[in-house]
């Protein structure tokens, strides 16, 4: 049998229902931009699994917020639960594990497994909110509520403002720690700013979009940018653009071709990495060909 054609929606239908999709598209765009910017720190500082562990912690925070409201009678906003647990996880991961004779990788593995497993167990006791937990863990951001958009916009705006304002100090302390100490910069404070901003942004974004696309934005964006061998400021710019394209473009692709949103955003981010690898290869061939003549 011939395969069935993809059921697409027309642009006219999309614009007719634009108000319904506006908030999730804006949320994906903002989260993609800010997480793409922060992804340069995540990748260059080899904190990829920090992002994974923090996103899982955000899922646990949402599950605990629902559990507290349903079984304990405490009204906790799930977005605050996500941001709070993400922040707690970030602070724990900032500690020196060698004091407990542990490696950083072992602590990351424990945090990832524990929070992910705990989110599933807690979610099993709040079956009426199970779809929200699944959305956090796997990314099903078809619709985004206005409070979630506001949280992502506020945290994202403050994060970008602070990072652009302190750009030289933050990058110096992140990528040349010894040199920053020699220059008298408050390295520990700057480290804390980077880690806490990543934790908070991942937390609020994971609540709105899901862990899978948030992890993609916070890692794959920088990988694509780094493939192009640009100067550091331009690497941040390109990573920000890649995150934005992945967030917004992935949502549009999911809408028009009836695919899950989180998966579409993640695959688009991966595709941009592959495209960057191809561009890098072509540049190398052209450069090598020019030098051998």
- Give me the residue spans of the domains in the chain: 24-281
Higher pLDDT, residue 124 or 254: 254
* pLDDT interval class at 93 (50, 70, 90): confident
Tokens 């072509």: give the residue.
282
pLDDT tens by residue, 169-199: 999 999 988 888 988 889 989 999 999 999 8
Percent of the chain residues past pLDDT 90, beyond the cut: 36
- Structural contact between residues 15 and 159, judged by C-beta atoms closer than 8 angstroms: no
With 0-12 CB in 10 A as exposed, 13-18 as middle and 19+ as buried, what is 34? buried
pLDDT score for 40: 96
**How many helices (H) and strands (E) would you count in the chain?**
14, 0
> How buried is 134 (Cβ within 10 angstroms: 0-12 exposed, 13-18 middle, 19+ buried)?
middle
Burial class of residue 124, CB neighbours in 10 A (0-12, 13-18, 19+): exposed
- Tell me what the mean pLDDT of segment 58-66 comes to: 81
**Which backbone phi and psi does 73 adopt, to 5 degrees?**
80, 10
The residue that leads in pLDDT, 30 or 145, is 30
pLDDT at 32: 96
pLDDT at 103: 76
Rounded Cα distance between 41 and 23, Å, is: 28
- Examine the pLDDT at 157 and tell me if it is beyond 90: yes
pTM of the model: 0.85
pLDDT of residue 2: 47
Contact 36, 241 (CB under 8 A): yes
Helix (H, G, I), strand (E, B) or coil at 273: helix
DSSP 102: -
Fold classification of 24-281 is ABC transporter involved in vitamin B12 uptake, BtuC (1.10.3470)
Q: Which residue has the higher pLDDT, 274 or 121?
A: 274
Instruction: Indicate whether 267 pLDDT > 60.
Output: yes
Pick the more confident residue, 82 or 236. Answer: 236
Q: How confident is the model at residue 283 (pLDDT cuts 50, 70, 90)?
A: confident
Give the pLDDT score at 224.
96
């Amino acid at each position: 049998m011939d395969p069935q054609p993809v059921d697409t929606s027309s642009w006219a239908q999309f614009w007719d229902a634009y108000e319904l999709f506006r908030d999730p598209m804006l949320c994906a765009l903002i989260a993609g931009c800010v997480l793409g910017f922060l992804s340069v720190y995540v990748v260059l500082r080899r904190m990829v699994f920090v992002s994974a562990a923090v996103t899982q912690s955000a899922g646990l925070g949402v599950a605990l917020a629902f559990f507290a409201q349903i079984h304990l009678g405490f009204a906790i906003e799930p977005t605050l639960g996500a941001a709070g647990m993400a922040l707690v996880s970030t602070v724990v991961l900032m500690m020196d594990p060698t004091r407990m004779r542990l490696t950083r990788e072992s602590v990351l593995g424990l945090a990832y497994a524990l929070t992910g497993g705990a989110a599933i167990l807690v979610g099993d006791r709040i079956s009426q909110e199970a779809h929200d937990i699944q959305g956090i863990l796997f990314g099903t951001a078809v619709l985004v509520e206005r409070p979630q958009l506001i949280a992502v916009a506020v945290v994202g705006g403050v994060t970008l403002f602070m990072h652009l304002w302190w750009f030289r100090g933050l990058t110096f302390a992140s990528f040349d720690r010894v040199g920053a100490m020699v220059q008298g910069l408050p390295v520990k404070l700057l480290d804390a700013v980077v880690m806490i901003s990543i934790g908070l942004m991942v937390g609020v974004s994971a609540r709105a979009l899901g862990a899978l696309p948030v992890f993609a934005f916070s890692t794959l964006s920088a990988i694509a940018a780094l493939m192009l061998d640009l100067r550091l400021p331009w690497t941040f710019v390109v990573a920000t653009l890649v995150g934005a394209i992945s967030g917004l473009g992935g949502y549009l692709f999911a809408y028009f071709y009836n695919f899950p949103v989180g998966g579409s955003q993640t695959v688009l981010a991966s595709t941009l990495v592959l495209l960057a690898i191809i561009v890098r290869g072509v540049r190398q061939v052209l450069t090598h060909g020019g030098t051998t003549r």
